[in-house]
Every structure is written in structure tokens, then in C-alpha cells.
Amino acid sequence: MNTWTITRRILLQFKRDKRSIALMIAAPIFVLTLMWLVLESGEDELKIAAIDVPEAFEEQLAEKEEVNLIPMEESKAKSEMADAGLDAFVLWENGEPSVTIEGSDPNTTSDVRDLLQKALGSESRAMEIEFLHGSEDLGLFDYIGPVLIGFFVFFFVFIVGGVSLLRERTQGTLERILSTPLKRSELVFGYLLGFGLFTIVQSFLIAAYSIYVLDMFMEGRFFYVLLVTFLLAMTALSLGTLLSAFAKNEFQMIQFIPVVIVPQVFFSGLFPLEGMADWLQAIGRVMPLTYGAEALRGIMIRNESFSDFQLELYVLTSFIALFTLLNISALKRHRRI
């Protein structure tokens, strides 16, 4: 009988907690659907420019379904590749092939090399290969490393920041603070500033450990990496504190992870986005981690300057401003000032 009493109590708790029921049923279905959409998307087409190549070689490559072969001048090919519009270009000079590969994605690099070696046959032995970015030794960890840095910074700041503010509310601390003449904006900015100082240290340690201890590939400036990770952390903090206003306890705060954090992983660059449907790519464009990961990968692998990734910084800053304003508004649930 005691066992049945406990069982009945738990069932009644679930009946009253609709969010937990939704988490256990809807969240796995949602995540599995995302995985299906991302992993079952069509393969990305290899874009290769051909410069003064023999007609036989051009015809052989043109027959490959996975290749988009584009006749192009050398100057334009270099410009297109610098803007990530090409995966490689083949130049025939003095009767010998020369290949330049964009190089920031080791999987694409491997596909291009295998394809060209098969097409060139015996001439592939004389093929000269250069890399615009990265190197022949660039590995998978180097490619996904910038995304992982951004993800771990975003994930842990989101959880710690959100749970901390939630705990202050559940313990009555927040209500006591709001009973003073303190303005809602002052509370939010103070909270963001306090955690912001901590995120500077966190960003520095995670980035430094990844680059200098784990020897992650790094071509750009370390300061730019710190700048992006800091903005990403502040975005996560402002979002976490915003969502904490809609949770009653720590468990409900954790429930936001499958809905808010997990989807961002699929659109952060761990999986190729180019082969996805346009509407699916558009989903990634409303997720902060997408912009942070793009900026980090551009800095670390492609040695991008500030002008190259400034759009991502502006978007992250806009996310911070939006979530901060919503934070101030959400505090009306506890006190109107």
C-alpha cells in the first residue's frame, strides 16, 4: 500500500506539471525531427573553378553529379574563393595541373582531392596542391573546435546565469531587492555586469586552453576570439536570465535545454548547412550560436579581419540588447516600477 501511495503521488505531480509531460514526450520527438531534417538533407555540391584546363579533363569532371564545374579566370577564382564561394580551382600551367583548395573544411578538402586525383589519373602525381586556408594537416577537431568553444561557453553560462537568478527568486531574495527603490533596469544591468566580469575570465581560460594546450588550429588574433566568446557568453546570460522568469524551479529551467540549446547545435556549423533546404537554413539565422560559431571559425581557421566578421558581432550585440530589454519587461511579473 505504501508503494502505491508513493506511485499515486508521483502520477498526480505529473498530472499537475504539464511542462514535464511535454518535456518527456514532445522534446525527444522535436530533437529527433531536427536530426532527421539536418542529417537527411542533400549533400553539398562541390564548387570547383576550371582555368585553362584540357577539354577532356573538363568533360570528365562535368559528368560528376556532386561537382559544379565553373570555367573562370584566375583572378576571379581567387576572389570567389576568398569569399567562400568556391571549394577549389584547377589551373593548367605549362602542361601540369595546379590545384588551390579553400581548406577550411577537412571533409571538403578530402572530397576535392579524391575527386581530382581520380579525374587526373597518372597526372595527379605531378599535381601541385596549395591551401588558401588551413593546411594539409587540418583535422576534424580543428574544424569543429571553434564551434565547440562557442557551444560550451554558451551552454554553461546559460545554465549558471539562469539558475542563479531563479534561485534568488525562489528564495525570496529577488522580492526583497525589488522592495527597495532599485529600478528593474538597474537590477538587470547589475546582474549582467557582475556575471559579465566572470565570463571574461571564463572566455579567456576556455579559449587559451583549447588553442595553446589542446593545440587547436589558430590563424587569427586571440583577442578577436575573446571578443566573440565574450559576446556569445553575454547573449547566453541575457537569454538564460530571461527564461528563468518563466520557470518555477531549477528543474523547469533545465527543461529549456532541449528546446533552446539543442536546436542551436544542429545549426552552429557542426553539420554542413549548405545542402539543407532554404527554410531550414533560415531557422539557423535566428539562433545566436550560429553567428558566434561562424565568427570563431572565420577567425581561427581563415584568419579573418574585423571587417570580415563584424556582421556576426553586430547580430550578437543585437541579441544581447533584445534579451536585456525583455528581461527588464519580464520583471514586471514581480513588481511594477
| Residue 189 covered by a domain | yes
Q: Would you say residue 283 has pLDDT above 70?
A: yes
Boundary residue ending a domain (68, 103, 131):
131
Q: What is the CATH number of the domain that holds 75?
A: 3.40.190.10
pLDDT band for position 282 (cuts 50, 70, 90): confident
Q: Of 130, 117, 111, nearest to 46 (Cα)?
A: 111
Boundary residue ending a domain (111, 131, 151):
131
Top mean pLDDT of 57-61, 89-93, 164-168 is at: 89-93
Same domain, 318 and 232: yes
CA distance 96 to 100: 13
CB neighbour burial string for 147-174, b if at least 16 within 10 angstroms, e if fewer: bbbbbebbbbbbbbbbbbbbebbeeeeb
Same domain, 98 and 168: no
pLDDT band for position 337 (cuts 50, 70, 90): very low
SS3 33: helix
Same domain, 59 and 125: yes
Q: How far is CA 159 from CA 6, 19, 27, 69, 253, in A?
A: 31, 18, 18, 47, 8
| Residue 159 covered by a domain | yes
| Residue 57 covered by a domain | yes
Give pLDDT tens digits for 217-260: 898 899 999 999 999 999 998 998 888 878 777 777 887 888 88
pLDDT band for position 281 (cuts 50, 70, 90): confident
> Full-prediction pTM beyond 0.85?
no
CA distance 197 to 290: 24
Boundary residue ending a domain (108, 131, 154):
131
Same domain, 124 and 148: no
Same domain, 305 and 232: yes
Number of domains composing the chain: 2
CA distance 36 to 41: 8
Q: Would you say residue 18 has pLDDT above 70?
A: no
Give pLDDT tens digits for 149-199: 999 899 888 888 888 777 777 766 666 665 666 677 777 787 788 777 888
Same domain, 113 and 156: no
Same domain, 54 and 81: yes
Give pLDDT tens digits for 305-336: 898 899 999 999 999 999 988 888 877 665 54
Q: Structural domain of residue 176, as residue ranges?
A: 140-333
Same domain, 147 and 124: no
| Residue 21 covered by a domain | no
SS3 52: coil
Of 74 and 206, more confident:
206
- Letter for the amino acid at 269? G
